[in-house]
């Protein structure tokens, strides 16, 4: 496609692929105006309050909510798939303390392919097995890295505990209370899937070359790390810590938003032009976590920021990252694992999309409007 097509107006460039429909999908529906978010037709607000993450993994990978027997079966599969290979644990332990947790996660996940007996098995059974293995092992990678940075050995899985409870066990080496487990489970449900977002679309592009699930998920981790995507939750807590307390919210926001290019982490969204339904639920858990921990300032500051941004000339609303930050922080989780927690949840969504992409595949290869020079005469190096 050459430049004159562009200047003649015959083609329009959709920067960032905004509003470009590239495929069909049954996995997730988003209406950014209502707003509404459905996983396989089920409303996220009902799923978040009534389902465990294991039920959502079943929904995403099999397209239906499980019966009790099916839930027991997939829970058993996830528990049996636990157990990080020793060489991956070694890589995590040897990572420099200055390394970034998302880089450690990306490296460890890539290395998992080396210990998979059939990494390129792209039969439906093979893809499902790898999806379960990846979903089961993400919490161990994140927790082992979290503990290694504090000079602590990795904790062995607790086979009595479900996914969210075992993740908290792996982090702290002891069982978390029911409220903390429920909060983590709700957060994992809310972050599990979100249609063709940047990291999921990355996974689909890689899957569309018929490459393997480990490669697709490794690429997705790289995309999620970015502050415009999953990295925003760490940006939100940095904002709250920089502001310091509720009395400083207004002057800080007024000062920062003078710069047109400023982007307040946790606000705005390519699709939602109203309040992200996930933020509605996380706001409740941020308040509950604050009350539970006796530290309400981060929630109160967040509400003040939300009020300010909502009453601007061009209102902006919180997205999923905004209230997850104060929720995790009052649960005692350190900012550096906020985005890895997002990945612990989203891995199931990424795998579901890899499976869907490869079930009716076409190589993803867009075009561009070429604006460079044309037919430049070649000059040998001794004449340049
Ligand atoms: C996630 O896609 C998904 O589904 C992602 C996700 C998922 O579950 O996978 O929902 C998870 O990534 C949520 C988003 C997390 N990112 C952030 O919180 C980073 C801060 N947000 C922005 O950078 C921005 O809102 C994006 C990146 C999320 C969306 O960017 P767009 O669609 O490219 O919008 P834009 O940057 O072109 O801004 C459009 C307008 C601009 O104003 P005008 O120039 O039209 O006057 O909105 C303004 C922007 O100034 N704007 C913001 C803003 N976000 C948009 N202004 C200040 N702060 C912001 N955060």
Instruction: Concatenate the DSSP letters of all residues of 246-289 into one string.
Output: GGGHHHHHHHHTTSTT---TTB--SS-SS--HHHHHHHHHHHHH
Q: Is the model's pLDDT at 182 over the cut of 60?
A: yes
3-class secondary structure, 177: coil
Please give the Cα distance from 163 to 181 (Å, whole number): 9
Ligand 1 geometric centre to CA of 192 (Å): 20
Residue 342 CB partners (closer than 8 Å, separation 6+): 191, 224, 230, 233, 321, 324
Q: Is the model's pLDDT at 7 over the cut of 60?
A: no
What is the share, in percent, of the chain residues with pLDDT greater than 70? 98
> CB of 61 closer than 6 A to ligand 1?
no
Q: What is the pLDDT of residues 47-72, one digit of tens each?
A: 999 999 999 999 999 999 999 999 99
Q: What is the pLDDT of residues 259-306, one digit of tens each?
A: 999 999 999 999 999 999 999 999 999 999 999 999 999 999 999 999
Please give the Cα distance from 54 to 121 (Å, whole number): 24
Ligand 1 geometric centre to CA of 15 (Å): 14
β-bridge mates for residue 141, sequence order:
none
Which whole number is the average pLDDT over 231-242? 97
Residue 10: its pLDDT value, please?
74
Tokens of 118: 């059939």
Residue 2: its pLDDT value, please?
61
Ligand 1 geometric centre to CA of 91 (Å): 35
Residue 11: its pLDDT value, please?
81
Q: What is the separation, in whole angstroms, between the first and last Cα of the chain?
A: 30
Give strand ranges (E) for 202-260: none
pLDDT, averaged across the chain: 96
Residue 24 CB partners (closer than 8 Å, separation 6+): none
**Chain centroid, CA 250 distance in Å:** 30
User: Which of 22, 199, 267, 268 has most ligand 1 atoms within 8 Å of CB, for mutation?
Assistant: 268
β-bridge mates for residue 318, sequence order:
267
Please give the Cα distance from 53 to 89 (Å, whole number): 25
Pick the residue whose CA is nearest to atom 7 on ligand 1: 194
Give the chain's length.
384
- Catalytic residue set: 229, 269, 321
User: Which of 269, 278, 338 has most ligand 1 atoms within 8 Å of CB, for mutation?
Assistant: 269
Which whole number is the average pLDDT over 40-48? 98
- Whether residue 229 is preceded by a cis peptide bond, meaning omega within 30 degrees of 0, is no
Q: Is the model's pLDDT at 6 over the cut of 70?
A: no
- Please report the atom of ligand 1 found closest to the CA of residue 224: 12
Please give the Cα distance from 277 to 116 (Å, whole number): 37
Kindly report the backbone phi and psi dihedral angles of residue 37, in degrees, each rounded to the nearest multiple of 5, phi listed first: -135, 125
What is the share, in percent, of the chain residues with pLDDT greater than 90? 96
Which CATH topology does 232-330 take? Cytochrome p450-Terp; domain 2 (1.10.230)
3-class secondary structure, 84: coil
Name the band, by pLDDT with cuts 50, 70 and 90, for residue 334. Answer: very high
Q: Is the model's pLDDT at 9 over the cut of 70?
A: no
Element (H, E) at 241: helix 232-243
Which CATH topology does 28-228+345-359 take? Citrate Synthase; domain 1 (1.10.580)
Q: DSSP class of residue 2?
A: B
Domain ranges of the chain: 28-228+345-359, 232-330
β-bridge mates for residue 43, sequence order:
38
Element (H, E) at 362: none
Residues of 266-280 as b/e, b for ≥16 C-beta within 10 angstroms?
bbbbebbeebbbbbb
Residue 132 neighbours by CB distance under 10 Å = 19
Question: Cα dist. 263→47, 267, 338 in Å?
Answer: 31, 8, 19
Residue 313 neighbours by CB distance under 10 Å = 4
Q: Could you write out the DSSP letters of every residue in 137-176?
A: HHHHHHHHHHHHTTT-PPPPP-TTS-HHHHHHHHHHSSPP
Which whole number is the average pLDDT over 29-37? 97
Which whole number is the average pLDDT over 177-188? 98
8-17, 135-144, 244-253: the lowest-pLDDT one: 8-17
Largest CA distance in the chain: 77
Q: Is the model's pLDDT at 225 over the cut of 80?
A: yes
Please give the Cα distance from 221 to 229 (Å, whole number): 11
Asked if residues 188 and 44 have their Cβ atoms less than 8 Å apart, the reply is no
Could you check whether 28-228+345-359 and 232-330 share the same CATH topology?
no
> What is the 3-state composition of the chain as percent helix, strand, coil, each rounded to the nearest 5?
60, 5, 40
Q: DSSP class of residue 17?
A: G
Residue 5: its pLDDT value, please?
62
Tokens of 88: 């991956």
């Amino acid at each position: 496609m050459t430049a004159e097509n562009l200047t003649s107006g015959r083609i329009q460039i959709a920067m960032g692929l905004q509003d470009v429909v590239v495929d069909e999908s049954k996995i997730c529906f988003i209406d950014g105006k209502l707003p509404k978010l459905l996983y396989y037709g089920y409303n996220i607000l009902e799923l978040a309050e009534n389902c465990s993450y294991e039920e959502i993994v079943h929904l995403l990978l099999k397209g239906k909510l499980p019966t009790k027997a099916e839930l027991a079966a997939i829970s058993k599969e996830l528990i049996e798939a636990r157990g990080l290979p020793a060489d991956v644990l070694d890589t995590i332990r040897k990572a420099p303390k200055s390394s970034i947790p998302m880089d450690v996660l990306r490296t460890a996940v890539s290395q998992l392919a080396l210990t998979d007996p059939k990494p390129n098995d792209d039969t439906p059974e093979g893809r499902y097995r790898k999806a379960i293995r990846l979903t089961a092992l993400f919490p161990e990678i994140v927790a082992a890295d979290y503990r290694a940075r504090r000079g602590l050995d990795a904790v062995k899985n607790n086979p009595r505990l479900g996914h969210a409870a075992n993740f908290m066990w792996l982090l702290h080496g002891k069982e978390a209370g029911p409220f903390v487990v429920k909060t983590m489970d709700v957060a994992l449900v809310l972050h599990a899937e979100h249609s063709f977002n940047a990291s999921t679309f990355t996974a689909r592009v890689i899957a569309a070359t018929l490459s393997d699930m480990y490669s697709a998920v490794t690429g997705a981790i790289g995309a999620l790390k970015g502050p415009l995507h999953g990295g925003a939750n760490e940006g939100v807590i940095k904002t709250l810590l920089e502001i310091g307390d509720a009395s400083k919210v207004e002057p800080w926001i007024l000062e920062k938003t003078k710069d047109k290019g400023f982007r307040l982490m946790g606000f705005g969204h390519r699709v939602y032009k109203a309040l992200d339904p996930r933020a509605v639920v996380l706001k409740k858990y941020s308040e509950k976590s604050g009350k539970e921990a006796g530290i309400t300032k981060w929630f109160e500051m967040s509400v003040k920021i939300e009020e300010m941004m909502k009453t601007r000339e061009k209102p902006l609303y919180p997205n999923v990252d905004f209230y997850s930050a104060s929720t995790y922080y009052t649960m005692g989780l350190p900012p550096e694992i906020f985005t890895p927690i997002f990945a612990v949840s989203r891995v199931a969504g990424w795998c579901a999309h890899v499976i869907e992409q490869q079930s009716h595949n076409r190589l993803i290869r867009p075009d561009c409007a070429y604006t460079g020079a044309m037919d430049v005469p070649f000059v040998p190096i001794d004449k340049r």
